[in-house]
Amino acid sequence: IFRHVDATLPKYMLREFGPKAPFGLIYAINPLFIITLVPIVGLLTKNIASYPMIMYGSFVAGASPFWICIGNYLWAVILFIVTLSVGEAVFSPRVYEYSMKISGEGKEGLYTSLASAPIFAVKLIVGGMSGWLLETFCAETPPPVRNSRA
């Protein structure tokens, strides 16, 4: 989902809301929420194990695109970014903590890089997927409507 915020969302907003769509402003919600929420969530959940927090945060972040499924509304895009950011604030710091806990002595760097590998690997898929999604569901020039009576 995070790579689609960079690869798909700008073009989607341009096509749906026009050139004056406030992409930068909406994109800025994520760092604002992360900087604000990570310390608060960390303090409030310090007695909860890392793995359940990773699961809870991943579930929230994974549910975030469903706001856009409601329709092409600017408020839905904002709720998508807010929900994604809340989920990220819950799971992201715990991924690193969990990686450190399960790594052996002297293997912390290896485990940290392996925990980050999916983020980089998905970049190979998202470019093509982004183009397909945009052309299929948000084409720059929509196909003509077919006459169902003909």
What helix, strand, coil percent values describe the chain, rounded to 5? 75, 0, 25
Spatial distance between the Cα atoms of 142 and 137, rounded to a whole number of angstroms: 9
- Which CA distances in Å does 112 have to 26, 58, 104? 30, 18, 12
Is this structure's pTM higher than 0.95?
no
CB 26 within 8 A of CB 81: yes
Q: What is the pLDDT of residues 68-79, one digit of tens each?
A: 999 999 999 999
Task: Give the chain's residues under pLDDT 70.
Answer: 142-150
pLDDT of res. 68: 93
Predicted local confidence at residue 143, as pLDDT: 59
The pLDDT assigned to 142 comes to 63
Provide φ and ψ at 51, rounded to 5°: -60, -50
Q: What pLDDT score was predicted for residue 147? A: 47
